[in-house]
Amino acid sequence: MAKKRRKQEEETYWRSIREHKQERKINYIQTTDSTLNYETLINRHLTTLKKVRENEGKLSPRMKDDWNKVEQMVRKCKKGEVFDYSSFKLNLNMICLSIKVERDMYL
């Protein structure tokens, strides 16, 4: 159900891009099956990222390293650099599980 909803959201997003032919520069994240911009990344994961930040103190040393990786990936995206979105989701998901933080539906 979530995959179908995600696919519909992606199709709607790309349809709007094609229809409006935005003139401004959009920074993208390359994924295996789609490309997402920074705004979409933040819309999807901001709540989860905030919850993890609030609970940073509970992270083990290894999970702190993974959290640093996630933060670096978000910064790369903001700069328009390409990074591995699957790795982003995997790291964030594992962090959430380790500190028992509720995950967003995209993880």
pLDDT tens per residue, range 15-51: 766 666 544 555 555 555 456 789 889 999 999 999 9
What is the overall mean pLDDT for the chain?
A: 83
Q: Which residue intervals of the chain are DSSP H helices? A: 2-20, 38-54, 61-79, 85-99
Determine the residue type at 24. R
pTM of the predicted model over 0.85: no
Asked whether the beta carbons of 44 and 92 are under 8 A apart, the reply is: no
Q: What is the pLDDT of residue 33?
A: 47
The pair of structure tokens assigned to 35 is 């490309």
Q: What is the pLDDT of residues 53-81, one digit of tens each?
A: 999 999 999 999 999 999 999 999 998 88
Domain boundaries, the chain: 26-99
- Grade residue 5 by pLDDT with cuts at 50, 70 and 90: confident
Tokens 């390409």 belong to residue: 82
